[in-house]
Amino acid sequence: MSQAPRPTLATVAAIEDAAELFRQANRIVVLTGAGISSPSGIPDFRSEGSGLWSRTEPMEVASLTTFRISPERFFNWFRPLAGQICNAKPNAAHRALAELESAGLKMMVVTQNIDGLHQKAGSAQVVEMHGSLQTLSCTQCFKQVASEPYLQSYIKDGKIPQCLNCNGILKPDVILFGEQLPQSAWLNAQRAARQCDLMLVAGSSLEVLPVAGLPMQALDRGAHLIVINNSPTYVNVRADVVIMEDVASMIPEITKRVLHG
Ligand code: ZN
């Protein structure tokens, strides 16, 4: 593994400040986006310039409408991404967050990702705002099944997953464009945002509503805010600490200081 470049003095100071906020916090919410999974090799399909975007417009092909009218178009588009997700392993950022939780910090991860990497790393309290690829649901009889046996032949041969009960098409339990967020996940995330005294935004540019509004809910209740993201977000002006660096090197640095001083 390549060695990360040494952080600048300003970054070291920000890491120290972030670690101090973690030490003082009683309830922490970590809001994660595509940026935390890109070091694991999963592209941000919403970002212009990613391979998936240049081939086709994701807001059109990854929409509920396309899925209903022409599921094979969706499944063709989704296939490389599904392959990357299935092969991906948690990176240092996922592992560091899991380490903080198992060390006894009261925290919840609210993620916009569908890859399950937080859980694979060992995080227990995870709310998946955009669903997950772990299960599929039949579009005809609504039976929910574990995706594992179906995904392998879909990724390998392009075979569209079909229900063994009724032959209906199985839809991955991920939230497509034009689809409502799962209500219980959204209520949990909102409650956590309002009750926390520290929110960390990690690897999200906060561009996808309504999740992007959660930091404002936390700030309005007096919570502290840390933002670690490669590019600016709309809440940077209100954050206590802003680190515009790679999450996979910064979160382990913060974790090291929180746990070992
Ligand atoms: Zn069925």
pTM above 0.85, yes or no: yes
For ligand 1, the distance from its centroid to the CA atom of residue 119, given in whole angstroms, is 28
Q: State the distance from the centre of ligand 1 to the C-alpha of 135, rounded, in angstroms.
A: 14
Segments in 147-182 forming alpha helices (H): 148-157
Q: What is the pLDDT along the chain (261 residues), one digit of tens a residue?
A: 455 567 788 899 999 999 999 999 999 999 999 999 999 999 876 655 444 444 567 788 889 999 999 999 999 999 999 999 999 999 999 999 999 999 999 999 999 999 999 999 999 999 999 999 999 999 999 999 999 899 999 999 999 999 999 999 999 999 998 898 999 999 999 999 999 999 999 999 998 888 999 999 999 999 999 999 999 999 999 999 999 999 999 999 999 999 998
Minimal CA–CA distance to 127: which of 47, 59, 197, 214? 214
Active site residues: 130
Tell me, in angstroms, the distance from the centre of ligand 1 to residue 80's CA: 25
CA of 179 to the centre of ligand 1 (A): 20
Angle (nearest 5°) at CA 205 between 95 and 52? 85
Contact 120, 89 (CB under 8 A): yes
